[in-house]
Protein backbone atom coordinates (compact mmCIF):
# COMPACT_ATOMS: atom_id res chain seq x y z
CA UNK A 1 0.00 0.00 0.00
CA UNK A 2 1.36 3.41 -0.97
CA UNK A 3 1.92 6.02 1.70
CA UNK A 4 -0.16 9.13 1.09
CA UNK A 5 2.27 12.00 1.35
CA UNK A 6 1.11 15.47 2.32
CA UNK A 7 1.22 18.09 -0.40
CA UNK A 8 3.39 20.34 1.79
CA UNK A 9 6.42 19.14 3.75
CA UNK A 10 8.58 21.19 6.09
CA UNK A 11 12.38 20.93 5.80
CA UNK A 12 15.24 21.56 8.21
CA UNK A 13 18.01 23.31 6.21
CA UNK A 14 17.38 26.63 7.97
CA UNK A 15 18.06 25.06 11.36
CA UNK A 16 21.59 23.94 10.56
CA UNK A 17 23.05 26.81 8.57
CA UNK A 18 22.43 25.48 5.06
CA UNK A 19 21.88 28.12 2.41
CA UNK A 20 23.26 27.55 -1.07
CA UNK A 21 23.27 31.22 -2.05
CA UNK A 22 24.29 33.15 1.07
CA UNK A 23 26.95 32.09 3.57
CA UNK A 24 26.10 35.11 5.74
CA UNK A 25 22.44 34.11 5.98
CA UNK A 26 23.49 30.56 6.75
CA UNK A 27 25.70 31.73 9.63
CA UNK A 28 22.95 33.93 11.03
CA UNK A 29 20.45 31.09 10.98
CA UNK A 30 22.94 28.68 12.50
CA UNK A 31 23.53 31.03 15.44
CA UNK A 32 19.81 31.59 15.98
CA UNK A 33 19.02 27.89 16.11
CA UNK A 34 21.80 26.83 18.46
CA UNK A 35 19.05 26.79 21.09
CA UNK A 36 16.81 23.76 20.60
CA UNK A 37 13.91 25.85 21.89
CA UNK A 38 14.16 28.07 18.82
CA UNK A 39 13.81 25.01 16.56
CA UNK A 40 10.80 23.74 18.49
CA UNK A 41 9.18 27.18 18.28
CA UNK A 42 9.37 27.15 14.47
CA UNK A 43 8.08 23.58 14.29
CA UNK A 44 5.19 24.62 16.54
CA UNK A 45 4.48 27.47 14.12
CA UNK A 46 4.48 25.06 11.17
CA UNK A 47 2.13 22.72 13.04
CA UNK A 48 -0.19 25.62 13.88
CA UNK A 49 -0.29 26.46 10.16
CA UNK A 50 -1.47 22.93 9.38
CA UNK A 51 1.80 21.32 8.29
CA UNK A 52 2.10 17.77 9.59
CA UNK A 53 5.30 16.37 8.05
CA UNK A 54 8.87 17.28 9.01
CA UNK A 55 11.47 16.10 6.49
CA UNK A 56 14.75 16.16 8.36
CA UNK A 57 18.33 14.95 8.37
CA UNK A 58 19.79 12.80 11.12
CA UNK A 59 21.84 15.69 12.47
CA UNK A 60 22.63 14.95 16.11
CA UNK A 61 20.43 17.84 17.26
CA UNK A 62 17.40 16.27 15.60
CA UNK A 63 17.57 13.68 18.39
CA UNK A 64 16.61 16.49 20.78
CA UNK A 65 13.67 17.37 18.55
CA UNK A 66 12.60 13.73 18.57
CA UNK A 67 12.83 13.64 22.37
CA UNK A 68 10.53 16.67 22.54
CA UNK A 69 7.93 15.14 20.22
CA UNK A 70 7.97 11.85 22.11
CA UNK A 71 7.58 13.63 25.44
CA UNK A 72 4.72 15.82 24.16
CA UNK A 73 3.11 13.38 21.72
CA UNK A 74 -0.41 14.42 22.74
CA UNK A 75 0.28 17.95 21.56
CA UNK A 76 1.05 16.85 17.99
CA UNK A 77 -1.57 14.39 16.70
CA UNK A 78 -0.90 13.28 13.13
CA UNK A 79 2.68 14.57 13.07
CA UNK A 80 5.12 12.59 10.91
CA UNK A 81 8.87 12.55 10.43
CA UNK A 82 10.54 11.80 7.09
CA UNK A 83 14.14 10.94 8.13
CA UNK A 84 16.89 11.58 5.56
CA UNK A 85 20.05 9.60 6.14
CA UNK A 86 22.97 9.42 6.48
CA UNK A 87 24.03 12.82 7.76
CA UNK A 88 27.24 13.01 5.77
CA UNK A 89 29.10 15.60 7.87
CA UNK A 90 28.85 13.33 10.90
CA UNK A 91 30.62 10.51 9.05
CA UNK A 92 33.15 12.82 7.44
CA UNK A 93 34.16 14.26 10.80
CA UNK A 94 34.42 10.79 12.33
CA UNK A 95 36.45 9.53 9.36
CA UNK A 96 38.90 12.43 9.72
CA UNK A 97 39.39 11.59 13.38
CA UNK A 98 39.17 7.78 13.39
CA UNK A 99 39.79 6.67 9.82
CA UNK A 100 37.15 5.14 7.56
CA UNK A 101 36.82 1.77 9.31
CA UNK A 102 37.04 3.37 12.72
CA UNK A 103 34.27 5.79 11.78
CA UNK A 104 31.98 3.00 10.58
CA UNK A 105 32.71 0.95 13.70
CA UNK A 106 31.93 3.93 15.93
CA UNK A 107 28.36 4.09 14.62
CA UNK A 108 27.66 0.37 15.04
CA UNK A 109 26.62 -1.55 18.15
CA UNK A 110 29.73 -2.89 19.91
CA UNK A 111 28.73 -6.53 20.06
CA UNK A 112 27.82 -7.90 16.65
CA UNK A 113 29.40 -10.12 14.05
CA UNK A 114 30.00 -7.31 11.56
CA UNK A 115 31.48 -5.11 14.25
CA UNK A 116 33.98 -7.87 14.97
CA UNK A 117 34.60 -8.26 11.26
CA UNK A 118 35.55 -4.60 10.95
CA UNK A 119 38.29 -4.99 13.53
CA UNK A 120 40.19 -7.05 11.02
CA UNK A 121 39.17 -5.19 7.88
CA UNK A 122 35.87 -5.30 6.07
CA UNK A 123 35.08 -8.00 3.55
CA UNK A 124 33.37 -6.69 0.42
CA UNK A 125 31.30 -9.82 0.00
CA UNK A 126 27.74 -8.94 -0.93
CA UNK A 127 26.17 -10.36 2.23
CA UNK A 128 28.56 -8.35 4.40
CA UNK A 129 27.82 -5.10 2.56
CA UNK A 130 24.09 -5.66 2.87
CA UNK A 131 24.35 -6.52 6.56
CA UNK A 132 26.58 -3.54 7.27
CA UNK A 133 24.22 -1.20 5.40
CA UNK A 134 21.31 -2.45 7.51
CA UNK A 135 23.20 -1.85 10.74
CA UNK A 136 24.14 1.69 9.71
CA UNK A 137 20.52 2.47 8.76
CA UNK A 138 19.38 1.12 12.14
CA UNK A 139 21.94 3.28 13.95
CA UNK A 140 20.67 6.38 12.15
CA UNK A 141 17.02 5.51 12.75
CA UNK A 142 17.41 4.91 16.47
CA UNK A 143 16.60 8.54 17.34
CA UNK A 144 13.16 8.17 15.69
CA UNK A 145 12.02 5.27 17.88
CA UNK A 146 8.26 5.37 18.61
CA UNK A 147 7.69 8.23 16.16
CA UNK A 148 5.72 7.97 12.91
CA UNK A 149 8.22 7.59 10.03
CA UNK A 150 6.24 6.39 6.99
CA UNK A 151 8.96 7.35 4.48
CA UNK A 152 12.72 7.06 5.01
CA UNK A 153 15.07 8.76 2.56
CA UNK A 154 18.58 8.07 1.36
CA UNK A 155 20.35 11.43 1.35
CA UNK A 156 21.61 12.84 -1.94
CA UNK A 157 25.27 12.57 -0.87
CA UNK A 158 24.87 8.80 -0.58
CA UNK A 159 22.43 8.41 -3.50
CA UNK A 160 24.59 10.29 -5.97
CA UNK A 161 27.78 8.64 -4.70
CA UNK A 162 26.24 5.23 -5.38
CA UNK A 163 25.11 6.45 -8.81
CA UNK A 164 28.67 7.45 -9.58
CA UNK A 165 29.98 4.04 -8.48
CA UNK A 166 27.36 2.24 -10.54
CA UNK A 167 26.36 0.26 -7.44
CA UNK A 168 22.69 0.07 -8.44
CA UNK A 169 21.93 -2.92 -6.22
CA UNK A 170 22.58 -0.77 -3.14
CA UNK A 171 19.27 0.98 -3.86
CA UNK A 172 17.46 -2.35 -3.66
CA UNK A 173 19.25 -3.13 -0.38
CA UNK A 174 18.07 0.18 1.06
CA UNK A 175 14.56 -0.42 -0.25
CA UNK A 176 14.33 -3.90 1.25
CA UNK A 177 15.67 -2.95 4.67
CA UNK A 178 13.45 0.12 5.07
CA UNK A 179 10.35 -1.84 4.09
CA UNK A 180 11.08 -4.95 6.14
CA UNK A 181 12.53 -3.36 9.28
CA UNK A 182 10.42 -0.21 9.56
CA UNK A 183 7.31 -0.90 7.50
CA UNK A 184 8.10 2.32 5.66
CA UNK A 185 8.52 3.33 2.05
CA UNK A 186 12.01 4.19 0.82
CA UNK A 187 12.69 7.56 -0.75
CA UNK A 188 15.74 8.80 -2.61
CA UNK A 189 17.13 12.34 -2.68
CA UNK A 190 19.26 13.25 -5.69
CA UNK A 191 20.70 16.04 -7.80
CA UNK A 192 20.13 13.99 -10.98
CA UNK A 193 16.60 12.58 -10.91
CA UNK A 194 16.33 11.49 -14.57
CA UNK A 195 19.46 9.33 -14.26
CA UNK A 196 18.47 8.01 -10.83
CA UNK A 197 15.03 6.94 -12.06
CA UNK A 198 16.64 4.82 -14.79
CA UNK A 199 18.88 3.11 -12.23
CA UNK A 200 16.08 2.52 -9.72
CA UNK A 201 13.92 0.92 -12.39
CA UNK A 202 16.88 -1.22 -13.45
CA UNK A 203 17.16 -2.37 -9.81
CA UNK A 204 13.49 -3.38 -9.91
CA UNK A 205 12.05 -0.42 -7.99
CA UNK A 206 8.91 0.80 -9.71
CA UNK A 207 7.21 4.18 -9.10
CA UNK A 208 9.83 5.20 -6.51
CA UNK A 209 9.63 8.25 -4.26
CA UNK A 210 12.25 10.74 -5.49
CA UNK A 211 13.02 14.09 -3.90
CA UNK A 212 14.96 16.41 -6.18
CA UNK A 213 15.56 20.04 -7.07
CA UNK A 214 12.82 21.32 -9.36
CA UNK A 215 12.78 25.02 -10.14
CA UNK A 216 12.34 27.44 -13.01
CA UNK A 217 16.05 28.23 -13.49
CA UNK A 218 17.38 24.63 -13.29
CA UNK A 219 19.35 25.43 -10.13
CA UNK A 220 21.29 22.29 -9.16
CA UNK A 221 19.32 20.14 -11.61
CA UNK A 222 21.93 17.85 -13.16
CA UNK A 223 20.85 16.50 -16.52
CA UNK A 224 19.15 19.68 -17.67
CA UNK A 225 15.67 21.17 -17.69
CA UNK A 226 14.40 19.19 -20.70
CA UNK A 227 15.31 15.86 -19.12
CA UNK A 228 13.60 16.84 -15.87
CA UNK A 229 10.41 18.04 -17.54
CA UNK A 230 10.22 14.87 -19.65
CA UNK A 231 10.66 12.75 -16.52
CA UNK A 232 8.00 14.73 -14.63
CA UNK A 233 5.42 14.41 -17.40
CA UNK A 234 6.00 10.67 -17.80
CA UNK A 235 4.75 10.13 -14.24
CA UNK A 236 6.92 7.08 -13.51
CA UNK A 237 7.89 8.27 -10.03
CA UNK A 238 6.36 9.96 -7.00
CA UNK A 239 8.10 13.32 -6.98
CA UNK A 240 8.88 15.70 -4.14
CA UNK A 241 10.16 19.08 -5.32
CA UNK A 242 12.85 20.77 -3.25
CA UNK A 243 14.82 24.00 -3.81
CA UNK A 244 11.78 25.35 -5.63
CA UNK A 245 12.87 28.91 -4.80
CA UNK A 246 16.45 28.22 -5.98
CA UNK A 247 17.79 29.34 -2.58
CA UNK A 248 16.09 32.72 -2.88
CA UNK A 249 16.96 33.46 -6.51
CA UNK A 250 13.29 33.29 -7.53
CA UNK A 251 10.32 35.30 -6.23
CA UNK A 252 7.88 33.03 -4.40
CA UNK A 253 4.94 33.44 -6.80
CA UNK A 254 7.08 32.89 -9.90
CA UNK A 255 8.76 29.86 -8.35
CA UNK A 256 5.53 28.20 -7.25
CA UNK A 257 3.73 28.99 -10.51
CA UNK A 258 6.36 26.90 -12.26
CA UNK A 259 6.34 23.91 -9.89
CA UNK A 260 2.57 23.77 -9.40
CA UNK A 261 1.91 23.56 -13.14
CA UNK A 262 2.94 19.90 -12.96
CA UNK A 263 0.22 17.73 -11.37
CA UNK A 264 2.72 14.85 -11.37
CA UNK A 265 4.67 16.55 -8.54
CA UNK A 266 3.08 15.06 -5.46
CA UNK A 267 4.72 17.13 -2.71
CA UNK A 268 6.73 20.29 -2.17
CA UNK A 269 9.24 20.67 0.65
CA UNK A 270 10.41 24.05 1.87
CA UNK A 271 12.06 25.58 4.91
CA UNK A 272 11.30 28.86 6.67
CA UNK A 273 12.10 30.41 10.01
CA UNK A 274 9.04 32.56 10.75
CA UNK A 275 5.37 31.76 11.07
CA UNK A 276 4.55 34.56 8.62
CA UNK A 277 6.70 33.03 5.87
CA UNK A 278 5.48 29.53 6.63
CA UNK A 279 1.85 30.61 6.41
CA UNK A 280 2.29 32.67 3.27
CA UNK A 281 4.14 29.90 1.44
CA UNK A 282 1.62 27.26 2.47
CA UNK A 283 -1.32 29.42 1.36
CA UNK A 284 0.32 30.13 -1.99
CA UNK A 285 0.96 26.43 -2.65
CA UNK A 286 -2.62 25.61 -1.73
CA UNK A 287 -3.96 28.34 -4.02
CA UNK A 288 -1.87 27.14 -6.98
CA UNK A 289 -2.46 23.41 -6.43
CA UNK A 290 -5.08 21.83 -8.74
CA UNK A 291 -8.29 21.09 -6.87
CA UNK A 292 -8.06 17.40 -7.76
CA UNK A 293 -4.78 17.16 -5.84
CA UNK A 294 -6.08 19.08 -2.83
CA UNK A 295 -9.04 16.71 -2.56
CA UNK A 296 -6.71 13.75 -2.25
CA UNK A 297 -4.14 15.33 0.04
CA UNK A 298 -3.83 16.17 3.70
CA UNK A 299 -4.12 19.92 3.20
pLDDT in tens, 243-275: 999 988 999 999 999 999 999 999 999 999 999
pLDDT of residue 298: 46
Give me the DSSP letters along the chain.
Answer: ------SEEE--GGGGT--SS-HHHHHHHHHHTTSHHHHHHHHHHHHHTT--EEEEE--TTHHHHHHHHHHTGGGSTT-EEEEEE--HHHHHHHHHHH-HHHHHHHTS-SSSHHHHHHHT-----HHHHHHHHHHHHHHHHGGGTTS--SEEEE-HHHHHHHHHHT-THHHHHHHHHHHHHHS-EEEEEES-HHHHHHHHHHTT--S-EEEEE--TT-TT-TT-HHHHHHHHHHT-SEEEEE-TTGGGTS-HHHHHHHHHT-TTEEEEEE--SSHHHHHHHHHHHHHHS-HHHHHTS--
Q: What is the pLDDT of residue 9?
A: 98
* Mean pLDDT of all residues in 206-228: 97
Average pLDDT, the chain: 87
8-84+134-295 maps to CATH 3.20.20.100: yes
Query: Taking residues 11-33, what's their average pLDDT?
Result: 72
pLDDT of residue 238 exceeding 80, the answer is yes
pLDDT in tens, 130-161: 877 888 899 999 999 999 999 999 999 999 99
Pick the more confident residue, 119 or 218: 218
Residues 117-128 pLDDT 10s:
444 444 444 556
pLDDT 10s digits, 44-98: 999 999 999 999 999 999 999 999 999 999 999 999 999 999 987 665 555 556 6
Domain boundaries, given as residue ranges, for the chain: 8-84+134-295
Residue 118's pLDDT is what?
47
Amino acid sequence: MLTQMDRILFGDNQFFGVNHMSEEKARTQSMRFQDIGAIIEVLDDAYAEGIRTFMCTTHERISEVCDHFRKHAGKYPGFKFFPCLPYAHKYANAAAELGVLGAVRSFLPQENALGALLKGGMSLARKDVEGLAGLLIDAEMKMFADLDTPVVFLQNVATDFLLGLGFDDAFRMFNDHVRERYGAEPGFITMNAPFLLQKLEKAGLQNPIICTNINKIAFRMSGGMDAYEDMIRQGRSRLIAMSVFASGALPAKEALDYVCQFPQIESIVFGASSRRNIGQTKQMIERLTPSSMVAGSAL
